[in-house]
Each structure stands twice: as structure tokens, then as C-alpha cells.
Structure 1
Amino acid sequence: MPAKDIYHDTAKNALIKDGWVITNDPLTLQWGKKDLFVDLGAEKLLAAEKQGQKIAVEIKSFVGLSEVANLEKALGQYTLYYDILQRLEPERKLYLAIRKETFSDIFEEPIGSILLENKRLRLIVFDSIEEVILQWIP
């Protein structure tokens, strides 16, 4: 099993505060002979529905030397997990969880905004100090 991101517990706490129940830590995806590990699986029951929403969350800190290299790696993981989840659990939506600083540094710049414009990924933006979700970008 891979090491947890440095903001794993922070993002997990923010999701819990937002009303999500953590169902998997990590969420294991078995594909062929390979096991992949998405950081979290969570579920939220909606008052009007008997079944709730299900999400998978990959948490990334973006604290390496190169923001572009971090983005490339995160996108590669996200794409792989997305494609496998579409086959195994199509009702579960995949999100990339990032700190508000990362959102500002990358996704408010042209290199990240093009990904959002083209709907390449879903984001959860969280405050790493307050441990709260600031924004959901579907």
C-alpha cells in the first residue's frame, strides 16, 4: 500500500465535517492482477433519496520541486483511476482534493484553467488549517 499524502488526514477531516462518511481508507481497485489504491472512498446520504452519493478522493499536496511535474503525475493517476472506476463502480464520482494554495497556484493559471474549462477533472478545494471544504468543482 502506498504512503499517505501529507494532507491525507486534513482532507479526510474536511470531508467528515462536510457530512461525508468515510467508507474506505484507502479505496482498493482491483483490475486484472493489479491493485490500485485511491486515497478515500466516501458516501453521503441525501434526505430525499434512499441511496446516497458515492465519491472516491485522490489527495495531492503538490509540494514537490515542480508544480508541472506534480500536476502531470496527479493527472496520470486521476485518469487511470477514473477509467477503472467507470468499469467497477460507475456510480462513484472521482475527485482530486487539493489545498486552496494549490488551486490558486495552478488552477487559476492558464495551465490549470484549461483542464477545468475542458472538464478534465473534478476538484475538492480544502483549507488545510481549518480542515474545511471551500469549493467543489464538478
Structure 2
Amino acid sequence: MTWGQNRLLAAERGDKKIAVEVKSFLASASAISEFHTALGQFINYRAALRRQEPDRILYLAVPDLIYNSFFQLDFPASMLQENTVKMIVYDIELEQISQWKD
């Protein structure tokens, strides 16, 4: 899996079928602009998955650096909660998942 690119992946977590939208937040100097794009895509992908594969759960994957800074601010945190966004936080350097946020 390449973490530096934005992509949508299908996988399994235990006995659950999941899809993961991987975002790097590296392409833009504006975190809020990247956030708006990521959240909008997440909502659209989730709606499409509900129609095509209702048993698959969508997660938004973001780097730990952006999660531990920008995503902890009041507005992004409240938007994630309001839109029930499940998340995977990953470490770019180690290329591994550091947190699951259900």
C-alpha cells in the first residue's frame, strides 16, 4: 500500500468488510481546503457504498501528523463527529496504522 497517494481500497478487518479512502493531505498548503474535499468525497463514497455494498464500512485514513494537529481543532473534530466519520490514523514514516477511530 502506498501511503503518499490518495486512493480508495477495499479490505477486511476481522470478519467485517471495509473500504478505506486514503488521504495524504500533502498536495495543498491549505488543510481546510483539503479537509472540505476529503469530507465531501467521504460522504459521497459512503452513499455509493451503501447502495452497491451495504455491508462494507467506509473509513477515512489520514496521516498521524495532520490528525494530531488539524483534526483536533474544534471545527474539523465537530464535522467528523456530526458526519459519523470512521477513521484510520497512519504513520507515514513507519507505513503502518497507529489508530482506528470507530
Q: What TM bracket, shorter-length normalisation?
A: 0.7 to 0.9
| Structure 2: 5+ residue stretches without partners | none
Separation of aligned partners in 1, 2:3 and 2:52: 27
1:24-35 to structure 2, matched below 5 A, reads none
Identity %: 35
- Equivalent residue, structure 2, for 1:118: 82
Q: Please tell me whether residue 10 in structure 1 is matched to residue 3 in structure 2.
A: yes
Secondary structure in 2 aligned to 1:87?
helix
Q: Which amino acid aligns with 2:43?
A: T
| Structure 1: 5+ residue stretches without partners | 1-7, 12-37, 47-51
Matching residue within 17, 39, 45 for 1:75: 39
Separation of aligned partners in 1, 2:93 and 2:19: 22
Secondary structure in 2 aligned to 1:129?
coil
Deviations 1:41-99 (A, max 9, x none): 0024x4xxxxx211111111112121111000001110110001111111100011000
Separation of aligned partners in 1, 2:68 and 2:24: 13
Higher radius of gyration, 1 or 2 = 1
Secondary structure in 1 aligned to 2:49?
helix
Separation of aligned partners in 2, 1:57 and 1:42: 8
- Equivalent residue, structure 2, for 1:137: 101
Separation of aligned partners in 2, 1:81 and 1:119: 13
Q: Please tell me whether residue 41 in structure 1 is matched to residue 34 in structure 2.
A: no
Aligned residues: 99
Separation of aligned partners in 2, 1:10 and 1:136: 16
How far the C-alpha of 1:116 sits from its partner, in A, is 3.5
Normalising by the residue count of structure 2, what TM-score does the alignment of the two structures yield? 0.86
Secondary structure in 1 aligned to 2:36?
helix
The runs of at least 4 consecutive aligned structure 1 residues that moved more than 2 Å come to 115-120
Normalising by the residue count of structure 1, what TM-score does the alignment of the two structures yield? 0.65
1:68–1:79: structure 2 CA closer, same or farther, 3 Å change rule?
same
Separation of aligned partners in 2, 1:110 and 1:57: 24
Separation of aligned partners in 2, 1:74 and 1:105: 16
Contact 2:3–2:22 (CA under 8 A) maintained in structure 1: no
